[in-house]
């Protein structure tokens, strides 16, 4: 589960940075990628965000009062 949490966290960070860069007209997901791959990346980022939304408190030391 820790590996899944780390992969999801990295994809959520990538998605957040991509949204920030879109303010300047850049979409890093489309750089040199086909539309099918871009759709897959966006789908994985969305699934990662959902994963973090529902499981974050179990993995976060600051959110979990037991510190596990």
Per-domain residue ranges for the chain? Answer: 14-55
Nearest CA-CA partner of 28 in 36, 19, 37: 19
Q: What is the CA radius of gyration of the chain?
A: 14
Q: State pTM to two decimals.
A: 0.69
pLDDT along the chain (68 residues), means of 10: 82 88 83 82 90 79 64
Angle ∠(53,16,41) on CA atoms, nearest 5: 85
- Helix H segments across the chain? 2-21, 35-59
């Amino acid at each position: 589960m820790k590996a899944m949490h780390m992969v999801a966290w990295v994809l959520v960070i990538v998605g957040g940075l991509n949204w920030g860069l879109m303010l300047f007209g850049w979409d890093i997901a489309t750089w040199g990628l086909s539309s099918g791959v871009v759709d897959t990346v966006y789908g994985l980022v969305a699934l990662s965000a959902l994963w973090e939304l529902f499981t974050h408190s179990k993995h976060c030391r600051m959110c979990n009062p037991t510190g596990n």
